[in-house]
Chains A and B, each alone.
Chain A
Amino acid sequence: MKRYSAFAVAREAVRYHSGWERAWRKVEPKKRYDVIIVGAGGHGLATAYYLGKNFGITNVAVIEKGWLGGGNTGRNTTIIRSNYLQDPSAAIYEKARSLYETLSQDLNYNIMFSPRGVMMLAQTEHEIRGYRRTAHANRLQGVDTQFIGPARVKELCPIIELKGPRYPVLGALWQPRGGTARHDAVAWGYARACSDMGMDIIQKCEVTAVRQSGGKVTGVTTTKGDIDCDKLGIVVAGHSGVLAEMAGFRLPIESVALQALVSEPIKPVMDVVVMANTVHGYMSQSDKGEMVIGGGADGYNNYTQRGSFHHVEETVRALIETFPMISRLKMLRWWGGIVDMTGDRSPILSKTPLENCFINCGWGTGGFKAIPGSGWGMAELVAKGHSPLTAEFGLNRFREGRFIDESVAAGVAH
Chain B
Amino acid sequence: MLLLTCPYCGVDAEETELHAGGEAHLKRFGPGASDEDFTAYLFHRENPKGVHFERWRHANGCGKWFHAARCTNTLEVFGTYKAQTTEPPKDLLDTIRAKRPGFRWRDLA
Q: Interface majority SS on A: helix, strand, loop or mixed? A: mixed
Q: Could you tell me if A308 and B43 are in contact, using CB atoms closer than 8 angstroms?
A: no
| Residues of chain A from 230 to 259 with CB closer than 8 A to chain B in the complex | 239, 241-242, 250-255
Decide if B87 is an interface residue (CB 8 Å cutoff).
no
Given A300-B20, A308-B1, A310-B16, A250-B72 contact (CB < 8 Å): no
| Residues of chain A from 274 to 316 with CB closer than 8 A to chain B in the complex | 298-304, 308-310
Decide if A399 is an interface residue (CB 8 Å cutoff).
yes
Residue of B nearest to A343 (CB): B43
* Measured CA separation A239–B47 after assembly (Å): 9
B interface residues, how many (CB within 8 angstroms): 23
Q: Could you tell me if B74 and A304 are in contact, using CB atoms closer than 8 angstroms?
A: yes
Decide if A55 is an interface residue (CB 8 Å cutoff).
no
Residue of B nearest to A304 (CB): B75
Q: Could you tell me if A254 and B1 are in contact, using CB atoms closer than 8 angstroms?
A: no
Chain B residues, CB < 8 A from A250: 40, 44
Decide if A4 is an interface residue (CB 8 Å cutoff).
no
Decide if A67 is an interface residue (CB 8 Å cutoff).
no
Decide if B95 is an interface residue (CB 8 Å cutoff).
no
Q: Which of A253, A299, A343, A399 contacts B47 (CB 8 A)?
A: A253
Chain B residues, CB < 8 A from A254: 22, 45, 47
Q: Could you tell me if B20 and A399 are in contact, using CB atoms closer than 8 angstroms?
A: no
Given A301-B72, A304-B74, A399-B39, A241-B19 contact (CB < 8 Å): no
Residues 20-45 of chain B, each 1 if its beta carbon lies under 8 Å from chain A, else 0 = 10100000000000010001101111
B26 CB to closest chain A CB (Å) equals 13
B66 CB to closest chain A CB (Å) equals 14
Q: Could you tell me if B45 and A253 are in contact, using CB atoms closer than 8 angstroms?
A: yes
B4 CB to closest chain A CB (Å) equals 10
* Measured CA separation A254–B39 after assembly (Å): 15
Q: Could you tell me if B48 and A241 are in contact, using CB atoms closer than 8 angstroms?
A: yes
Given A300-B54, A301-B72, A310-B15, A398-B43 contact (CB < 8 Å): yes
Chain A residues, CB < 8 A from B22: 254
Decide if B73 is an interface residue (CB 8 Å cutoff).
yes
* Measured CA separation A251–B1 after assembly (Å): 28
Chain B residues, CB < 8 A from A255: 47, 49, 72
* Measured CA separation A253–B22 after assembly (Å): 12
Residues 159-174 of chain A, each 1 if its beta carbon lies under 8 Å from chain B, else 0 = 0000000000000000
B104 CB to closest chain A CB (Å) equals 10
Decide if B62 is an interface residue (CB 8 Å cutoff).
no
Q: Could you tell me if B1 and A303 are in contact, using CB atoms closer than 8 angstroms?
A: no
| Best-surrounded residue of A241, A299, A301 (most CB of chain B within 10 A) | A301
Q: Could you tell me if B16 and A241 are in contact, using CB atoms closer than 8 angstroms?
A: no
* Measured CA separation A248–B16 after assembly (Å): 36
Q: Which of B15, B48, B52, B74 contacts A308 (CB 8 A)?
A: B15
Q: Which of B19, B39, B54, B73 contacts A398 (CB 8 A)?
A: B39
Chain A residues, CB < 8 A from B40: 250
Decide if B2 is an interface residue (CB 8 Å cutoff).
yes
Residue of B nearest to A240 (CB): B47
Q: Could you tell me if B16 and A303 are in contact, using CB atoms closer than 8 angstroms?
A: no
* Measured CA separation A255–B47 after assembly (Å): 7
| Residues of chain B at the chain A interface (Cβ within 8 Å) | 1-2, 15-16, 19-20, 22, 35, 39-40, 42-45, 47-49, 52, 54, 72-75
Q: List 14 A-B contacts (CB under 8 A).
A: A251-B44, A251-B47, A253-B45, A254-B45, A299-B19, A301-B52, A301-B54, A302-B75, A303-B73, A304-B72, A304-B73, A304-B75, A309-B1, A399-B39
In the A-B complex, list the 4 residue pairs whose CB atoms are closest, starting with the nearest.
A241-B47, A252-B43, A300-B20, A299-B20
